[in-house]
Structures are given as C-alpha cells and as structure tokens.
C-alpha cells in the first residue's frame, strides 16, 4: 500500500515538499490540491510580471508535477469543496502549503478611504490573479504613495513607472496595461519609517530602479548616513554586506542630477505615515518625520504631507485560518514544531514560518516535512486511506470540476499562443474563462 500524501497548495513550498518526498519516500503517492486552476502560487500571482526570469523556477516544479507518482487537482479549495477533516480521512498525511494570502492591515486613520489598497490585492490585480480582477484601482492621479521598504513596495512602484515598451515584454493582463497607459501617474513616493541603511530591499531590485527609461529614482542626499559604519552597527555580517551595497546604490541616486526623465520615483526615508487625508477618497498622506534610535523609528513631532490619489500599503502579508487546523492569530501562522502540527498534519512555507524569505527559503521546509512523513508512517500506507480515488468520488458527487495537470498545460499553451510579440503569455484572468477555454478546446 502506498503512503498517500495530500499537499494543499501548489506554491514553492508545496512543490519543494513533493520533490523531497519523491526523492526520499519511494512508496509515497502525492496529490497536490490547489484552489485555482493554475499552479505555482505566488510565482504566478506575486513575482512581478517584469521578472520573467524569476518565474522560470516554475519549469522545475513542472518536472515534479509530471512525475508518475504526482497528481494535480486544480480548482479545488480545501475548506470550500472538501474539508480538511475529510482530507485527513482520505490521506495518510496532509501537508498545508497554503501560503499567506491577505494583507497585514494598515491601521492609521483614513486607511479605509477609496484609493487605498493593500499590496496583496494590488499585486494580485496586476498579476491577473482571479480574486482581484474587480479591484479597479484608482489610477487617475499624478501621484502615488507606496508604504513599505521591502521588495514588494519596489515592485509596485516599478510596475507603475515602467515605460510602455518595458510593459509590452511582461505578462501584465490587457486591462492592467490599458489602465496604466491611461493613467497620468508621474510620481511615486516609496515611504520607509526608518533610514536608508534599514530598508529591506535586495540590491538587485534597488539597482533596477536606476535602469528605468521613463522614471528617475530620487533620494535626498541629506537622508544618507554620514557614518555608514554607525548606521549599520546592529547588522550581522551578511545583512551588513547587503545593506552596504544598498547604501552605495542609494548614494549614487542621491548624487545623480535630475536629468530629463519625465517621471520620478522618490525613495523617502524617516517617514512614518500617520493618516490618509481626503474627503472619502485619498487625496494626501500625512507623515511624521522620524529619527532612528537603537534601530527603532521614533517620531520627531514634525509632520508633512504628500498629495496622492492612490496609496498602496506594502507592509506585509497575513495567513488566513483554515477550518480543522489550529491558528496562531498573533503570529498569523499555524502553530507547529519544525513543520509538524501533529502526526499526519504538517505545515510548510509561509503558513509555517510567516510571510518572509525568498522562493528558495521554502525548500528546507519541504525537506523537513518529507522527513516527518517518513518518521511518522510505517513503510506501508493505511489500506483504509484511498487518497485520490476517494477524493475524485467526493468531487464528482459535489459536482466540482477539477483541473488536472494536462489541462493546466493546455491553459498554459493557450496563454502563450495568445501572447503578442515580445510578451511571454496573455493570462486568463478569471476561473470561468479558463474553464470555458478548456471546455471549448475539448469540444473541437
């Protein structure tokens, strides 16, 4: 009897788990359950559309999905189509790889005004994620504020500032491209509460801003530290190196003459947003100037305002609880001990650790879960757990149409075929569109 494993979620953490199980557990059969018809989680729906090279990691995941012992059930949501309790009855082991899909709440007055969006929604919109296609963000403004000092903040700013030529080489959905084309946005202000030394950008992302053809990165020279060693004093060696590189890049931006690029991307430090102003709709953001004492930002009592009709809050992500699994609301994760929730139930990726780290940070989670599954199971699986046979019967009974990996490959092919010159694909942006395209394809 095989050991039947269900992995809930097909992002990096889910795929690294499947790949580790294939290597270490020759008797495992793996079913990957995904709420969307499309696999790969934030690789498709989070990584920026102009970072296609990063998205190529999906080719590796595809090799895993094509292995004989792996099945993919897209368009099946645990908690909606099948409960976690039912999954546990059908499988010897269930691995939760569901990520962290909501925004950390921006809790300042005015955060609920029109024109204020969380980055999960905004990024989902520009990446064609079906959940966010009705967002219709307000872009009819010359000026935007992006709150946050990580790569997601930079992604949002860069996507808005890219030239039409640059955007044509991405897989931004047509309605997004059209909305950006129509928009008069010519200034983006990326706001960080602490100083340039504390920003969490990676250096590659920061340097990319200097290569934009239509927008110039702007940094205030007076915000750059005069004593770099003192500014980096609290950071350990590796972090110190990355931040030192960032300071070099930022110093270069601070020294550059304004030039003649028509748009400006301001990196504004020591700026703590305290209120979003406007009559029902965002019209400006009010910030308090800060100073950094012992690594913490402290208000100075001086306030300033930046006019802006669009505010994007990129201050982090949050997981949602899943019925049938415990949830630590304060930390926004499923409580676990090194990935084990209890025997038979495991967590990997952002739902295990919280929303931090890069794609490869999820790999050790998968390896760890695979080890737990081997340790917790006898060499043979439980004969009463019939895995996908039972799952398929249940989905049939409930009238749920699932999408197998071959069907995803057809969606993939249709998207690539529909792309205009230079673009990698033209995404389907609703589940209905994907399912009808498959059904029409079947009837031909």
Ligand X SMILES: Cc1cc2nc3c(=O)[nH]c(=O)nc-3n(C[C@H](O)[C@H](O)[C@H](O)COP(=O)(O)OP(=O)(O)OC[C@H]3O[C@@H](n4cnc5c(N)ncnc54)[C@H](O)[C@@H]3O)c2cc1C
Binding site for ligand X (CB under 6 A): 8-14, 33-36, 41-42, 46-47, 51, 54, 77-79, 97-99, 123, 152, 155, 317, 322, 349-350, 357-359, 361-362
Q: How far is it, in rounded angstroms, from Cα 48 to Cα 82?
A: 31
Q: Which is nearer to ligand X, 278 or 339 (by Cβ)?
A: 339
Q: What angle do CA 318, 319, 322 make, to 5 degrees?
A: 155
Q: Which is nearer to ligand X, 114 or 358 (by Cβ)?
A: 358
Q: Which is nearer to ligand X, 356 or 419 (by Cβ)?
A: 356
Q: Which is nearer to ligand X, 19 or 290 (by Cβ)?
A: 19
Q: Which is nearer to ligand X, 77 or 392 (by Cβ)?
A: 77
Q: CB of 223: closest distance to ligand X in angstroms?
A: 26
Q: Which is nearer to ligand X, 307 or 424 (by Cβ)?
A: 424
Q: Which is nearer to ligand X, 51 or 400 (by Cβ)?
A: 51
The residue written with tokens 């399912």 in the block is: 435
Residue 354, token pair as written in the block: 């919280």
Q: CB of 379: closest distance to ligand X in angstroms?
A: 28
Q: Which is nearer to ligand X, 329 or 421 (by Cβ)?
A: 329
Q: CB of 8: closest distance to ligand X in angstroms?
A: 5
Q: CB of 148: closest distance to ligand X in angstroms?
A: 11
Q: CB of 308: closest distance to ligand X in angstroms?
A: 21
Q: CB of 98: closest distance to ligand X in angstroms?
A: 4
Q: CB of 123: closest distance to ligand X in angstroms?
A: 4
Q: CB of 383: closest distance to ligand X in angstroms?
A: 26
């Amino acid at each position: 009897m095989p050991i039947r494993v269900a992995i809930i979620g097909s992002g990096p953490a889910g795929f690294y788990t499947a790949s580790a199980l294939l290597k270490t557990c020759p008797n495992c059969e793996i079913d990957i359950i995904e709420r969307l018809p499309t696999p790969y989680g934030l690789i498709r729906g989070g990584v920026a559309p102009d970072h296609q090279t990063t998205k190529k990691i999906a080719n590796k995941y595809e090799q895993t999905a094509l292995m004989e012992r792996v099945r993919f059930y897209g368009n099946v949501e645990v908690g909606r189509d099948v409960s976690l309790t039912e999954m546990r009855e059908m499988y010897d082991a269930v691995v939760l790889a569901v990520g962290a899909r909501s925004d950390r709440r921006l809790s300042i007055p005015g955060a609920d005004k029109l024109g204020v969006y969380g980055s999960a929604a905004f990024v989902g919109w520009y990446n064609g994620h079906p959940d966010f296609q009705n967002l219709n963000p307000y872009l009819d403004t010359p000026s935007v504020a992006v709150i946050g000092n990580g790569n997601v903040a930079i992604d949002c700013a860069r996507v808005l500032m890219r030239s039409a030529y640059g955007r044509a080489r991405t897989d931004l959905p047509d309605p997004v491209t059209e909305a950006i084309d129509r928009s008069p946005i010519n200034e983006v202000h990326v706001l960080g509460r602490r100083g340039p030394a504390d920003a969490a950008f990676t250096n590659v992302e920061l340097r990319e801003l200097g290569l934009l053809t239509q927008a110039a990165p702007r940094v205030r020279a007076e915000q750059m530290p005069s004593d770099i060693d003192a500014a980096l004093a609290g950071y350990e060696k590796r972090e110190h190196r990355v931040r030192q590189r960032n300071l070099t890049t930022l110093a270069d931006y601070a020294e550059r003459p304004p030039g003649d690029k028509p748009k400006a991307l301001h990196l504004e430090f020591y700026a703590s947003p305290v209120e979003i102003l406007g009559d029902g709709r965002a019209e400006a953001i009010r910030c308090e100037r800060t100073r950094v004492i012992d690594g913490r930002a402290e208000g100075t009592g001086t306030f300033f305002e930046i006019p802006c009709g669009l505010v994007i809050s990129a201050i982090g992500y949050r997981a949602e609880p899943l019925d049938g699994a415990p949830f630590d609301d304060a930390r926004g994760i499923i409580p676990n001990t090194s990935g084990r929730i209890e025997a038979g139930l495991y967590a990997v990726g952002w739902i295990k650790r919280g929303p931090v780290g890069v794609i490869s940070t999820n790999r050790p989670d998968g390896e760890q879960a695979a080890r737990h599954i081997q340790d917790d199971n006898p060499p043979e699986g439980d004969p009463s757990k019939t895995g996908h046979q039972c799952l398929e019967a249940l989905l049939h009974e409930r009238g749920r149409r699932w999408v197998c990996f071959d069907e995803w490959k057809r969606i993939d092919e249709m998207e690539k075929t529909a792309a205009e010159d230079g673009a990698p694909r033209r995404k389907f942006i609703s589940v209905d569109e994907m399912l009808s395209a498959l059904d029409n394809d079947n009837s031909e």
